Structure 1
Amino acid sequence: MATPEWIVDAISTPGVIAAKLWLRGGSGSDPLGQRGAHQLLGSTLTRGCGPYDHLQVADLVEGCGAGLRCDTHEDGILISLKCQDSDARRLLPLLGWMLDDPHLSEEQVELERDLSLQALQRQQEDPFHRAHDGWRQLAYGGGPYGHDPLGIAAELETLNAETLHPLARQLARSQGILALSGTIPDGLLTEMQAFPGFSKPATDRDCPGATGLPPIAESNRSERVGLQPLDTEQVVIMLGQPTLPHGHTDDLALRMLQAHLGVGMTSVLFRRLREEHGVAYDVGIHHPARAGAAPFVLHASSSAERAALSLRLLQEAWDDLAHRPLTAQDMTLAAAKIRGQIAHATQTSGQRAERRAQLRALGLPDDYDHTSLERLATLEPEQLRRAAERHLDRPLLSLCGRGAVIDSLAAEWRQGAERSG
C-alpha cells in the first residue's frame, strides 16, 4: 500500500484506539459493466491478507476483542478497526496487508458475491429501496451515483477474483488517508510508518479513476417521474434532485434547509404530514455528504388512500423553500439542530476518526465543521431562499406501490408540474 496521509487525533479514552482508512475510489468508480466491483472487493479484503488466511484474520481480530470491517461508499472504501491500544501494534498492520497483499481467493469472492446478490434481492422486495433506486436512476442515470454500492445483479454475477485484482492494484497504488483517534501508544506512529505495507510511494497517476471526483449530475433530463410497481399496501414517495458537493459555498444553506424540513419532531415534514394530517407512516429527508452532486430528497411512506395528499404536502414543502424565507425562529431552531448533529457525530473515537478522514478525502480543512458552526450565525433567511431557488428548482419524483395507484399519482403530479412551469 502507498504511504497513507496520516491524521492523528490523540484524545483521552479508556485505552481504546480507532483507525479509519479511507481509500478513494468507491462504487462511483466501478468500471463499465462491473457495477458492484468495488463493494465486492471491499467485502473480500477482510477475508485473508498477507500472512493470514480468512480464519486467521478472524482469530486475530476477535481474539483481541477488536472490530474490523470494510464498507464501500459511493466516493470511497472505508476500512475500520477498533481495538485496545495495547493491541494496536498487532492489528494495525492488517490494514497495510489488506491493500498490499490481499488474497482475494476465488472461494471467498464467490461467498461474498452470493451474499451481495442475496442483499440485492431483499432490496427488490422493499418498497423504500425500490423507490430510492428509481429516483437514483432518474437523477444520475449511468453516472457514478446511478447505482447502489452493492451493484447491479446482472453485472455482479459476472464478477470473480480475476476481475478484482486490477482494482486492488489501483487501490494499493493510490494514497489513502489513515486517521487514528483515541489513546495513541508512544512510538506507534513511527513504527507504523516504517511498516512495509505503509511505506510505498503513491502513484495516483497510474489510477486516475481512483482519485477523480464524480461529475455534477445531469439536470436537464426530460423524464422527471419514475414508477416502481410493487404489490404492497403502502406507497413510497421520493421527491428531490441532485444538488452540490459537500463543502460548496451553498452547501451550508442546504443543510439548514435539511434541518428545517426533516430533522426531529419539530421539522416541517413531521408536523405537516404526521401531526397535522396523519397521512404518513414515515417521513424524512436524505442529503448525505458527497464529493459530487449530493441528493436532496424528501421521502414519505403512506397508504394508497392518502398518498395523493402526502405527495401534495411534500410538493408544497418543496415549493415553500424558494418562495417563503424562514422566520428568525426557524433559523435559530435549524442552527441548533445542526450544532447538535455535529456534536452527536463526534462523540466516539471512531466517529472522530471517520469524520477527519472524510473531510481530508473531500479536500476540506480539518476545522471545516468548526468554521461551519461559525458561519451559521452569519446566514440570513434570504440566503437560504436564494440557495433553494438556485439548486432546488427541478425536483424528480419516484413512486413505489401498486401500479394503478402510482400511475394516478404520477399523472396528477405531471399536470401540477406543467401548470407551475
Structure 2
Amino acid sequence: MTKDSQRMTQSVTRSLANPTIHRSVLDNGIVLITVENPAADIIAGRIFARVGGRWEPREQAGLSHLLSTVLTKGTDRLSSLEIAERVESVGASLGADAAADYFLLSLKTVSADFPEMLQLAGELLRRPSFPEAEVELERRLALQDIRSQQEQPFTIAFDQLRQAMYQNHPYGFSSLGTEATVSGLSRADLQQYHQTYFRPDNLVISLAGRLTPQDAVDLVNQVFGDWQSGTTPLPTLSLPQITPEPISCATPQDTQQSIVMLGYVAPSVQETDYACLKLLNTYLGNGLSSRLFVELREKRGLAYDVSAFYPTRLETSQFVVYMGTAPENTAIAYEGLRTEVERLCTTQLSDRELQAAKNKLLGQYALGKQTNAQLAQVFGWYEILGLGIEFDTEFQEKVTSVTPEFAKQVACRYFTEPYVSLVGPAEKLNIKT
C-alpha cells in the first residue's frame, strides 16, 4: 500500500451501472469522488465548497457571486492575464460559479494536461489575491447585470415572488444581490469570506475521466495534501424560519405582455416527496408536450411562454408555474394556470400520462450524465448536498415507483393556496385571487 493510499480515512466504491463511482475521504477532510470513465481522453473536475447564497449575511447578498467572478483573476504569484494564458495555451476551460447551496470551481482538459490545470485550480482556491482593480471591475459589472434584470418583466415577477415566499431567508434574494448590498462589498469582505469557508474539510472534489481512483488520490494529494483546516470550527449556519403566508403581489409596468406567476411552498431535496414533485413538474411544464403548453398555449392560445420549475434546494424549495400572456388575458391566464395545477389534486393522472412523464424525466436524467463534465458535476453535486452517490439510483427508483394515487396525494399536500406575482399594465393587474 502506498503512502497516499494510507492517507485515505474512508473509501467506498459503488458500481452504478457504468461507469464505476469511487468515494474517498482524505486525511485533511477533502471528500474525493472519482468517476472512472476511459471512453474519452478528457478529464473534468468540479471542486465544490459548502458556501453560497445561504451563507451570506443579508447585508452582503451577492458576495458569493462576486467572489466567483474574482477568484480566477489573480493569485499571490499569477496575474489575471497569466492565468488566462495558462488555461488557453492547452485549450482547457476553467471557471467559477456560485449558487444558493454551494460554490463551484470547474475545470476540463485533455488527460495529459490535467495535473497542470488541477495545480492551477489549487492555487486559485488556496491563494487568491483579489486584485483591487479586478474587484472594482467585477462589482461594476454585477451592478450593471442587476440593473439590466430590473428591466425584464420575468425577472421582476420572479424576484417579487421569491421575496414574498422567503422574506428574510437568503433564498429570497437573487444570487447577484441587490444594488445596495453589492455597492457595499469590498476586497476585505471577499478575503474574510474566503478565509472562513474555503478550507479542505469544507470541500468536495469530483473528477471524471481517464483516471483510476488511485490516480485521483495521488493527484489531489499532490495539490491539496498539505492544506490543513486549522482548529477553528466552521461558523454555525442560523437561518430564519420559512413560514408560509400566501399573498398576491403586483408591479405595474407598461409592457407588451403580462407575467403571471404562481408559487407553492415545496419540499427540499432531502424530503420524501421530492422525486414525486419532480415528476409532476415534468408533467406540467417540461417541454412542448407538457400539460401547460398543450392546454394553455396550443389549445387556448393564451401563452407566449408557459412553463413550470421546481429548484433542487437544501432547504424549503418552491414549485412555480408561470405564463407570459397578452395584457387583456391576464385574468384568464391566472385562472388557467391555477386550474391546471389544482387539477392534479382533483383528477388522478392516468397510468399513461404518468408513464409518459416518467419516461421524459428519466430520459432527460440519463442524457444529463453523458460527458465527463456532466458526470463530475452530478456526483459532486450529490455529495455537497449531503445526498451521497447512492442518490443516483435512489432517485430513479423513487420516480419509477410513483403511482397515480400517490401523485394525487402529494399534489394535495402542496398545491393549496398559491403565492401570486403579477407584472404588466396597471389596469390589467386587478384580478381576483
So what's the TM-score if we normalise by structure 2? 0.89
- Please tell me whether residue 104 in structure 1 is matched to residue 127 in structure 2: no
Q: Pairwise mapping of residues 262-341 of structure 1 onto structure 2 (< 5 A)? A: 262-341=285-364
**Distance in 1 separating the partners of 2:93 and 2:241:** 36
Give 5+ residue unaligned stretches, structure 1: 414-421
The number of residue pairs the alignment matches comes to: 406
The residue matched to 1:114 in structure 2 has which SS? helix
Amino acid at match of 1:26: G
The answer to which of 122-131 and 360-369 deviates more is 360-369
One of 376, 386, 391 as aligned partner of 2:414: 391
One of 236, 242, 248 as aligned partner of 1:217: 242
Aligned 8 A contact 1:96 1:198 in 2: no
Deviation at 1:132, TM superposition (A): 0.6
Q: Pairwise mapping of residues 26-45 of structure 1 onto structure 2 (< 5 A)? A: 26-45=52-71
**Distance in 1 separating the partners of 2:44 and 2:134:** 26
Amino acid at match of 2:362: R
Aligned 8 A contact 1:5 1:177 in 2: yes
Aligned 8 A contact 1:23 1:177 in 2: yes
Deviation at 1:213, TM superposition (A): 8.7
**Distance in 1 separating the partners of 2:29 and 2:276:** 37
Deviation at 1:181, TM superposition (A): 0.7
Match of 2:378 in 1: 355
Deviation at 1:77, TM superposition (A): 0.8
Match of 1:9 in 2: 35
The answer to which of 231-240 and 375-384 deviates more is 375-384
Deviation at 1:214, TM superposition (A): 6.0
Deviation at 1:4, TM superposition (A): 2.1
The answer to which of 131-140 and 360-369 deviates more is 360-369
Match of 2:50 in 1: 24
**Distance in 2 separating the partners of 1:99 and 1:71:** 13
Match of 1:366 in 2: 389
One of 355, 367, 370 as aligned partner of 1:344: 367
Match of 2:402 in 1: 379
One of 400, 404, 418 as aligned partner of 2:427: 404
**Distance in 1 separating the partners of 2:273 and 2:29:** 34
Match of 2:169 in 1: 143
Match of 1:417 in 2: none
**Distance in 2 separating the partners of 1:186 and 1:314:** 49
Q: Structure 2 vs 1, CA of residues 323 and 375 (structure 1 numbering), >3 Å: closer, same or farther?
A: same
Deviation at 1:361, TM superposition (A): 1.2
One of 159, 166, 181 as aligned partner of 1:133: 159
Aligned 8 A contact 1:49 1:94 in 2: no
**Distance in 1 separating the partners of 2:317 and 2:239:** 10
**Distance in 2 separating the partners of 1:213 and 1:314:** 36
**Distance in 1 separating the partners of 2:323 and 2:231:** 42
Q: Structure 2 vs 1, CA of residues 145 and 340 (structure 1 numbering), >3 Å: closer, same or farther?
A: same
- Please tell me whether residue 194 in structure 1 is matched to residue 221 in structure 2: yes
Partner deviation per Cα, 1:22-50 (whole Å, 9 max, x = no partner): 11111121113111111111111111124
- Please tell me whether residue 244 in structure 1 is matched to residue 270 in structure 2: no
One of 211, 228, 241 as aligned partner of 1:184: 211
One of 207, 218, 222 as aligned partner of 2:234: 207
**Distance in 2 separating the partners of 1:214 and 1:339:** 34
**Distance in 2 separating the partners of 1:18 and 1:66:** 10
**Distance in 2 separating the partners of 1:329 and 1:101:** 55
Amino acid at match of 1:253: C
Aligned 8 A contact 1:175 1:204 in 2: no
- Please tell me whether residue 165 in structure 1 is matched to residue 165 in structure 2: no
**Distance in 2 separating the partners of 1:186 and 1:240:** 43
**Distance in 1 separating the partners of 2:224 and 2:197:** 13
Deviation at 1:139, TM superposition (A): 0.6
Deviation at 1:382, TM superposition (A): 1.6
Aligned 8 A contact 2:207 2:216 in 1: no
Partner deviation per Cα, 1:42-101 (whole Å, 9 max, x = no partner): 111111124311111101011111111111101011111011111111110222222211
The residue matched to 2:58 in structure 1 has which SS? coil
Partner deviation per Cα, 1:224-274 (whole Å, 9 max, x = no partner): 111122221111111012311113111111111111101122211001111
- Please tell me whether residue 82 in structure 1 is matched to residue 105 in structure 2: no
Q: Structure 2 vs 1, CA of residues 42 and 127 (structure 1 numbering), >3 Å: closer, same or farther?
A: same
Q: Structure 2 vs 1, CA of residues 39 and 203 (structure 1 numbering), >3 Å: closer, same or farther?
A: farther
Give 5+ residue unaligned stretches, structure 2: 1-25
Amino acid at match of 1:169: Q
